[in-house]
Amino acid sequence: MLCVGKRLVRLKGFQKLTSVDKALQMFLSQVPPKKIGIEIVPLTSALNRVLAENITAEHDLPNFNRTAVDGYAVKAEETHGASQFKPKKFLITEKHAVETKQAKQVWTGNPIPKGADAVVMLEYTKRMGDEVEVWTQVVPGENISKKGEDISKGEVAVKARTRLKPQHIGLLAALGFSEIKVFEKPKIAILATGNELVEVGSSIKEGQVFEVNRLVLSALCRELNAEPIDLGIANDNVNEIRDKLEFGAKVADAIITTGGTSVGAFDFVPEVVDKLGKPGVIVHGVAMRPAMPTALAIAKEKPILVLSGNPVAAIIGFEVFARPLICRLLGLEKEEHRPVVKAKMTKKVATALGRKTFVRVHVFQRNREFFAEPISTRGSGVISTMTKANGYAVASENRQGLEKGEEVLVYLFDDVDLVG
């Protein structure tokens, strides 16, 4: 009877679903602030790390006046009146200085030779042996990248909390930095629960399934450059789950579990999480599809995401709840979204009123237009729908579907094909 009673309590929990936005806000607002550790890495290992300090230029960039174009460096005043009909002639010098009526050939990036104060573009010149004809007049400073033009000394070149892409690494290198401070990668412990689960690579019996979620969630963490920690598979056993969660809370910055979060007889992960520490479960049951039986919790000062055991729901749960959390733990200034594209629905899709629905679509590009073809799904568990799709569109709670021809925003998790 006690068992039945408990089950009823849990069933009750789902009679009131929380909206996605509210759930996320309730959860993130209670995640304890944490000082993120800092490490120093060489610039060669800085790709996709998050910068932990403002990088201020210690010198001007460029640190000398240089030409912004290919052409001839001259004294600007000596070009006065030059035109295609009235070209001016200059003697070409090979020295690093320009004297009266001299020009020096320069290539983009070269220092401006002494005595010169402008560059005439190659297109407006004609070389004739040791001389060059100039067909246009230039003003002082023309076609010159001034010292400090790119970044001036003391200026913030790259802000703290920026994800370092190749171009940031280039700018930091140009300023002479060979190593920088970055935030430590957050550690995300991942636990799968379920008596039916078998480790990939083992043999399988009817009723058993290979455990997929730890591999997928680890890969999703790695895409964000967070560090997954594998807590393995736990049986549907309170003690086993609790022990693994306690270990996870010790070694990681956040925990993600999968399975045992619905309201079935063996679904007691939210209960175990709730007993782990205060405040415990903050939300259980979200008005969304898939991933409705998601719970968001905090215990032992660690955020815990209790995701569905269904692989598709686990992925969507990760995208919606783990992604913003991990972006914060990475030290990023704001959530990093997947690339978004606006695409026209090729077909109508029905969705349930009151549920934010994540519709898997295949986006393709044809004649500069983007189209989103919904992937037909029956159970949300069909994982091949995720490999057929390359993104998802969102139908809000107040919608009963997405119309054919409607323009939707699609969040892309794979490449877009160019068709036709």
| Contacts to a second copy from residues 112-171, by CB under 8 A | 127, 145, 149-151, 157-158, 163, 165-171
- CB 161, min distance to a second copy, A: 12
Tell me the C-alpha distance between 209 and 203, whole Å. Answer: 10
Question: Which residue in the set 37, 109, 279, 405 belongs to the binding site for a second copy (CB under 8 A)?
Answer: 109
- CB 218, min distance to a second copy, A: 7
Sites for a second copy among residues 40-99 (CB under 8 A): 43-44, 47, 59, 61-64, 66-70, 94
Number of residues that bind a second copy (CB under 8 A): 97
Sites for a second copy among residues 268-307 (CB under 8 A): none
CA-nearest of 110, 114, 96 to 68 is 110
Helix ranges (H only) for 338-390 are: 384-388
Place of tokens 């991942």: 190
Sites for a second copy among residues 164-223 (CB under 8 A): 165-171, 173-179, 200-201, 204, 206-207, 209-213, 215-220, 222-223
- CB 400, min distance to a second copy, A: 15
Tell me the C-alpha distance between 248 and 234, whole Å. Answer: 13
Question: Which residue in the set 9, 11, 38, 128 belongs to the binding site for a second copy (CB under 8 A)?
Answer: 11
- CB 142, min distance to a second copy, A: 10
Using alpha carbons, list the distances in angstroms from residue 197 to 29, 203, 266: 34, 11, 14
Cα dihedral 21→26→27→29 (10° resolution): 110
Nearer to a second copy, 139 or 204 (CB): 204
Question: Which residue in the set 267, 271, 274, 373 belongs to the binding site for a second copy (CB under 8 A)?
Answer: 267
For residue 253, what is the enclosing H or E element?
none
Nearer to a second copy, 192 or 249 (CB): 192
Number of residues in the chain: 420
Nearer to a second copy, 89 or 279 (CB): 89
Question: Which residue in the set 262, 294, 351, 357 belongs to the binding site for a second copy (CB under 8 A)?
Answer: 262
3-state DSSP helix/strand/coil percent for the chain, to nearest 5? 25, 35, 45
Nearer to a second copy, 36 or 198 (CB): 198
Nearer to a second copy, 39 or 335 (CB): 335
Nearer to a second copy, 39 or 369 (CB): 369
E strands of 93-178, at which residues?
Answer: 102-106, 118-121, 125-128, 131-134, 144-145, 156-158
Say how far residue 152 (Cα) sits from the centre of its chain: 29
Give the β-pairing of 227-234 and 187-193: parallel
The tokens of 392 are what? 């998802």
Nearer to a second copy, 23 or 61 (CB): 61
